[in-house]
Amino acid sequence: MTVKAIGPYPALHKDKVENFHGNQMVIIGWDRHLMIDAPMAFPLPPGMPFGAFQSEVMPAAFAAHPDWPQIDWSTVEWMLDGAPFTPDMEASLTDNGIGHKSVIRFVTPGLDGIGGSGS
């Protein structure tokens, strides 16, 4: 049966930054640690220092993993929206170039999941 649209239908983007009450959505994933099987998204204030993001927000996502307490933060490799970056722990998310729906990924050299399995 043929269907004819009676539209046009407007695209309603519900994930616009204006809908987050002054926050921006930040997505974080830990490479080679698939016990936590997907990146997580957090609505965060753009002025939050990256150091607070690391010490207060990231544990909520990843501290259940047995590798978490073993992380040597001085060796962590960071990616922001697909490009390597070095965060300034004192600077805000915005000043670190982190915007609405930015994706942050990190690799922890020497820690490759439970028993080196990637999980």
Sorted by where each begins, the domain ranges of the chain are 22-116
What local confidence, expressed as pLDDT, does residue 60 receive? 93
Cβ 25 vs Cβ 42: under 8 Å: yes
Q: What pLDDT, on the 0 to 100 scale, is given for residue 8?
A: 81
Cβ contact 81:39 at 8 Å: no
Query: What's the pTM value of the predicted model, to 2 decimals?
Result: 0.87
51/88 Cα distance (integer angstroms): 8
HEC per residue, the chain = CCCCCCCCCCCCCCCCHHHHCCCEEEEEEECCCCCCCCCEEEEECCCCEHHHHHHHHHHHHHCCCCCHHHCCHHHCEEEECCEEECCCCCCECHHHCCCCCEEEEEECCCCCCHHHCCC
Q: What is the mean pLDDT of each successive set of 10 residues along the chain, which is 119 residues long? A: 78 84 96 91 98 97 96 98 98 98 97 89
Q: Just give the CATH number of 22-116.
A: 3.10.20.560
The pairing of strands 102-107 and 24-30 is parallel
* Pairwise CA distance, residues 34 & 53, whole Å: 21
Expressed in angstroms, the distance from the first to the final Cα of the chain is 48
